[in-house]
């Protein structure tokens, strides 16, 4: 079971109180926000040291979609060079977006970024409208920050007729107009399939980041940091992450067929007596994590935790992980 | 259109979105050479589409079409995934039939910062991969702003159709066909449609400012004693039509009807037009819409004064182009 050790206070980021004073943000209609209860999960932020002087860092105007307001505020709080800007998101009666970008003339010559979240198909079109409009406002450069690249995580191209929605999304993003800064930079974290980088045309420069450094930092602050082993639920996760986690002992799981069932087994590594941290890029129902946890416990793991970059948890599947008072 | 012999007609495989199943069936029933195909529309738990095109190997070398309805932003992505996939399955040609091109009907580009979603939509469609048949043909009925034709890139060939012939055919069937006058609610509608309706007497309305109000007035034409049919490309709340109807009645119109190609009617705004039992509020004699907006068609089925004029025949012909 997961151990909750208290966080050193220097690492806890108090939520930013900066609000967008210029903004008159209105959101009509139903919002479909992913809501995750944060009482069980602590958010950890690493303050970057300002190594470069203010004159060297680019001044960036950061726009964002409504779902990402709180993260955008935290990003802007990290640096004097990042200015939070707002967009007016309304809808017409027919449900189609009615969007206005304030300050469209002042934006000329600025470096501009947009923090997007495609948490469901319904919110893509309105954000895409902004993505197609911003680069054409004579900006110096345009960066799209899309922390989670959805689609492609559950689908498999197995036969003719399968439709790859990851291709649709990559194609849509590839048609973002180029700006005076050239192709659009696309920042995404722990993309599910590395070959998706080849789905983008020349108008996009993908920049693949990872959340693993945040995990490593957190693990080092645990009281039993010397006793940590990393477990990968399958070979895919091992391929994605083992190089970044080389200095930890490693356990690799695998799913094997037994009759009509698929069972998780330990392929390599030794969990006995260790605090084992299962690492993967994302979690959906959580079924895989729970099966891995059982196998690791059966092999003598002292404690078991999990890390995923993207906590998708459709249909509130995070509930099965909450500690209840029974303390299982 | 010239009649083609069976030899000359293209065999077309017609795929369609869920909302348009009825219209797709009607299109296929209009012609021996159009065959309906199917797609498995499912979702993963995270809400993203899990799609499968049935019979994908057997569509190679065939002319393929997809009947799409972008009735709300939420249904765009799943249809777009199919639209981007079909042309790459070695089809002989690809046609996208999008009877109603949404967006752009409310928005105005008035200052820097206004975001034109019509541009977004056109750009997304212009990015459809080309197939062996070259650019994708894109069939649209009564597009709201004619200059939107220039929003499309070279990989699509827009084909602008109209529902007006269906209206004309219906008007000729009316007992008072000789007393019909066509009315346009504004200059925009007149520009769009007057050339197709020149053999009817015409009335043109306009909105004038009076103080802080905008009032509909009759600008030209004579309505007295006639059956006046207000013609426009689409209806949203219906407010404009109702104001026009009042002005026409005040100028002596005997009866007033309406035709719009696209019955958008957000938020059930069609309710204000339904004939009630007491007959007091029944201001429109007929209200014709096409089946371009399938959700509305379902809602108003068999409810007077609404009548649906189907685009099926016209679409079936357009697929031969």
The tens digit of pLDDT for each residue in B232-245 reads 999 999 999 999 99
pLDDT band with cut points at 50, 70 and 90 for residue B74: very high
Asked if B147 and B21 sit in the same domain, the reply is yes
B298 domain residue, yes or no: yes
Residue B282 has pLDDT above 90, yes or no: no
B5 domain residue, yes or no: no
pLDDT band with cut points at 50, 70 and 90 for residue A260: confident
Comparing alpha-carbon positions, the chain A residue that sits nearest to B117 is: A129
H helix runs in chain A, sequence order: 69-77, 124-133, 165-174, 212-220, 235-241, 287-298
Residue A16 has pLDDT above 70, yes or no: no
Q: Residue B16: which of B98, B129, B77, B128 has the closest Cα?
A: B98
Asked if B130 and B211 sit in the same domain, the reply is no
CATH class of the region A212-320: alpha beta
| CA–CA dist A73, A13 (Å, integer) | 12
Taking residues B167-184, what's their average pLDDT? Answer: 95
Bond before B305 cis per omega within 30 degrees: yes
Long-range contacts of B166-171 (CB under 8 A, 24+ apart): B166/B290, B166/B309, B166/B310, B166/B311, B166/B314, B167/B229, B167/B231, B167/B259, B167/B288, B167/B309, B168/B196, B168/B197, B170/B288, B170/B307, B170/B309, B171/B200, B171/B229
CATH code at position B68: 3.40.50.2020
Residue A257 has pLDDT above 90, yes or no: no
Closest partner residue to B52 (CB to CB) among A97, A162, A168 is A162
pLDDT band with cut points at 50, 70 and 90 for residue B210: confident
For residue B220, what are the domain limits? 164-310
pLDDT at A31: 34
Nearest-Cα distance to chain A for B130, in Å, is: 13
Could you tell me what percent of chain A has a pLDDT over 70?
82
Comparing alpha-carbon positions, the chain B residue that sits nearest to A174 is: B127
Beta bridge partners of residue B214, listed in sequence order: B209
Window 64-93 of B, Cβ < 8 Å to A: 72-78, 80-82, 84-85, 89
Asked if B188 and B73 sit in the same domain, the reply is no
- The residue among B161, B193, B212 that closes a domain is B161
Q: Is B44 on the interface with A (CB under 8 A)?
A: yes
Closest partner residue to B106 (CB to CB) among A98, A167, A174 is A98
Nearest-Cα distance to chain B for A91, in Å, is: 10
Q: Residue B217: CA atoms inside 13 Å, Cβ hemisphere, count?
A: 9
Give how many domains chain B has, as a whole number: 2
Copy the structure tokens of residue A35. Answer: 């809501």
Copy the structure tokens of residue A61. Answer: 């105007």
| CA–CA dist B255, A315 (Å, integer) | 54
For all residues of chain A together, what is the average pLDDT? 84
Copy the structure tokens of residue B162. Answer: 């109209």
Nearest-Cα distance to chain A for B121, in Å, is: 8
Kindly determine whether residue A126 and residue B72, on different chains, have CB atoms separated by under 8 Å: no
Residue B284 has pLDDT above 50, yes or no: yes
Identify all chain A residues contacting B238, using CB atoms and an 8 Å cutoff: none
pLDDT band with cut points at 50, 70 and 90 for residue A249: very high
Taking residues B182-211, what's their average pLDDT? Answer: 93
Kindly determine whether residue A154 and residue B113, on different chains, have CB atoms separated by under 8 Å: no
Kindly determine whether residue B102 and residue A96, on different chains, have CB atoms separated by under 8 Å: yes
Residue B63 has pLDDT above 60, yes or no: yes
Asked if B40 and B54 sit in the same domain, the reply is yes
- The answer for residues whose C-beta is within 8 angstroms of residue B3's C-beta and 6 or more apart is none
| CA–CA dist B182, B171 (Å, integer) | 10
Provide the CA B314 distance to its chain's centre, in angstroms. 12
Instruction: Encode pLDDT of B105-130 as tens digits.
Output: 777 778 889 998 999 999 999 999 99
The domain spans of chain A are 60-209, 212-320
Asked if B204 and B228 sit in the same domain, the reply is yes
Does the fold of domain A212-320 match that of domain A60-209? yes
Beta bridge partners of residue A128, listed in sequence order: none
For all residues of chain B together, what is the average pLDDT? 93
Taking residues B239-252, what's their average pLDDT? Answer: 94
More confident residue, A41 or B74: B74
Dihedral angle of Cα A4, A8, A11, A17, to the nearest 10 degrees: 90
Identify all chain A residues contacting B50, using CB atoms and an 8 Å cutoff: 154-155
Closest partner residue to B103 (CB to CB) among A96, A120, A133 is A96
Kindly determine whether residue A175 and residue B124, on different chains, have CB atoms separated by under 8 Å: yes
Kindly determine whether residue B77 and residue A124, on different chains, have CB atoms separated by under 8 Å: yes
Could you tell me what percent of chain A has a pLDDT over 90?
70
Asked if B185 and B202 sit in the same domain, the reply is yes
More confident residue, A46 or B314: B314
Taking residues A73-94, what's their average pLDDT? Answer: 96
B7 domain residue, yes or no: no
Reported pTM: 0.85
Among A33-47, B78-92, B298-312, the minimum mean pLDDT is found in A33-47
Taking residues A204-233, what's their average pLDDT? Answer: 96
H or E segment and range at residue B207: strand B202-210
- The residue among B110, B132, B161 that closes a domain is B161
- The answer for residues whose C-beta is within 8 angstroms of residue A249's C-beta and 6 or more apart is A229, A230, A269, A270, A274
Residue A168 has pLDDT above 50, yes or no: yes
Contact B119, B79 (CB under 8 A): no
Cα–Cα distance list, A233 to A211, A286, A289, A299 (Å): 17, 11, 7, 15
Q: Which of A137, A168, A204 to mutate to test the interface with B (most CBs of B within 10 A)?
A: A168
Among A33-37, A218-222, B157-161, B307-311, the minimum mean pLDDT is found in A33-37
Copy the structure tokens of residue B147. Answer: 């200059």
B90 domain residue, yes or no: yes
Q: Which of A129, A156, A318 to mutate to test the interface with B (most CBs of B within 10 A)?
A: A129
B57 domain residue, yes or no: yes
Q: Residue A106: CA atoms inside 13 Å, Cβ hemisphere, count?
A: 7
Identify all chain B residues contacting A124, using CB atoms and an 8 Å cutoff: 73, 76-77
Asked if B29 and B129 sit in the same domain, the reply is yes
pLDDT band with cut points at 50, 70 and 90 for residue A186: very high
Q: Is B236 on the interface with A (CB under 8 A)?
A: yes
Asked if B42 and B135 sit in the same domain, the reply is yes
More confident residue, B317 or A199: B317
Highest mean pLDDT among A44-53, A262-271, B102-111: A262-271
Considering the segment(s) A60-209 as one domain, its CATH architecture is 3-Layer(aba) Sandwich (3.40)
Asked if B243 and B140 sit in the same domain, the reply is no
Phi and psi at residue B159, to the nearest 5°? -125, 105
Asked if B254 and B242 sit in the same domain, the reply is yes
Terminal Cα distance for chain A, rounded:
8
Identify all chain A residues contacting B81, using CB atoms and an 8 Å cutoff: 163-165, 167-168
B56 domain residue, yes or no: yes
pLDDT at B279: 67
Taking residues B259-266, what's their average pLDDT? Answer: 97
Instruction: Encode pLDDT of B1-21 as tens digits.
Output: 555 565 678 999 999 999 999
Asked if B153 and B250 sit in the same domain, the reply is no
- The residue among B161, B190, B207 that closes a domain is B161
More confident residue, A30 or B102: B102
Asked if B104 and B194 sit in the same domain, the reply is no
Kindly determine whether residue A121 and residue B76, on different chains, have CB atoms separated by under 8 Å: yes
Residue A50 has pLDDT above 60, yes or no: no
């Amino acid at each position: 079971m997961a151990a909750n050790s208290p966080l050193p206070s220097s690492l806890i980021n108090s939520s930013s109180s900066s609000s967008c004073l210029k903004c008159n943000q209105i959101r009509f209609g139903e919002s479909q926000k992913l809501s995750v209860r944060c009482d069980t999960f602590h958010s950890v932020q690493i303050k970057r040291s300002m190594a470069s002087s203010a004159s060297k860092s680019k001044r960036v105007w950061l726009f964002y979609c409504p779902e990402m307001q709180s993260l955008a505020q935290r990003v802007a709080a990290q640096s004097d060079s990042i200015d939070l800007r707002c967009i007016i998101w309304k809808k017409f009666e027919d449900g189609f977006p009615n969007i206005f970008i304030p300050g469209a003339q002042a934006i000329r010559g600025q470096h501009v970024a947009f923090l997007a979240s495609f948490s469901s198909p319904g919110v893509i079109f309105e954000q895409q409208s902004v993505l197609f409009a911003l680069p054409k406002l004579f900006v110096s450069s345009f960066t799209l920050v899309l922390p989670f690249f959805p689609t492609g995580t559950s689908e498999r191209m197995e036969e003719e007729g399968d439709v790859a929605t990851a291709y649709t999304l990559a194609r849509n993003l590839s048609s973002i107009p180029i700006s005076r800064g050239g192709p659009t930079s696309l920042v995404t974290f722990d993309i599910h399939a590395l070959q998706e980088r080849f789905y983008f045309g020349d108008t996009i420069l993908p920049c693949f980041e990872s959340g693993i450094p945040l995990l490593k930092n957190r693990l080092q602050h645990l009281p039993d940091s010397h006793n940590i082993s990393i477990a990968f639920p399958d070979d895919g996760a091992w391929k994605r992450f083992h190089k970044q986690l080389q200095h930890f002992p490693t356990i690799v799981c695998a799913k094997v067929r037994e009759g009509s069932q698929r069972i998780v087994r330990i392929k390599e590594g030794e969990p006995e007596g260790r605090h084992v941290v299962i690492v993967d890029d994302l979690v959906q129902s959580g079924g895989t994590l729970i099966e891995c946890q059982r196998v690791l416990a059966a092999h003598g793991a002292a404690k078991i935790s999990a890390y995923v970059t993207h906590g998708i948890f459709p249909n509130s599947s995070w509930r099965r992980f909450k500690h209840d008072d029974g303390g299982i | 259109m010239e009649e083609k012999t069976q030899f000359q007609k293209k065999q077309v495989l017609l795929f369609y979105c869920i909302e348009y199943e009825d219209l797709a069936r009607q299109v296929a029933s209009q012609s021996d050479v159009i065959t309906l195909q199917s797609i498995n529309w499912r979702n993963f738990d995270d809400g993203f589409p899990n799609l499968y095109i049935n019979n994908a190997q057997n569509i190679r070398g065939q002319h393929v079409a997809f009947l799409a309805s972008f009735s709300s932003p939420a249904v765009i992505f799943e249809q777009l995934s199919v639209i981007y996939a079909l042309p790459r399955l070695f089809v002989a040609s690809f046609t996208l039939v999008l009877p109603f091109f949404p967006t752009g009907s409310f928005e105005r580009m008035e200052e820097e910062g206004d975001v034109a979603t019509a541009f977004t939509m056109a750009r997304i469609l212009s990015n459809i991969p080309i197939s062996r048949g070259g650019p994708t043909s894109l069939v649209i009925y009564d597009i709201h702003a004619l200059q939107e034709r220039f929003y499309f890139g070279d990989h699509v060939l827009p084909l602008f159709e109209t529902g007006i012939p269906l209206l004309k055919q219906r008007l000729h069937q009316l007992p008072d066909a000789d007393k019909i006058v066509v009315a346009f609610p504004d200059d925009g509608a007149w520009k769009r449609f007057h050339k197709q309706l020149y053999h009817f007497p015409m009335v043109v309305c306009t909105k004038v400012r009076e103080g802080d109000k905008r009032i509909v007035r009759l600008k030209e034409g004579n309505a007295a004693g006639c059956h006046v049919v207000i013609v426009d490309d689409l209806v949203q709340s219906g407010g404009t039509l109702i104001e026009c109807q009042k002005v026409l009645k005040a100028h002596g119109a005997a009866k007033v009807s309406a035709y719009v190609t696209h019955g958008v009617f957000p938020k059930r705004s069609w309710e204000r037009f339904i004939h009630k039992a007491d007959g007091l509020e029944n201001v429109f004699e007929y209200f014709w819409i096409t089946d371009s907006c399938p959700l509305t068609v379902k809602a108003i089925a068999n409810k007077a004064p609404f009548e649906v004029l189907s685009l099926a025949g016209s679409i079936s012909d357009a697929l031969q182009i």
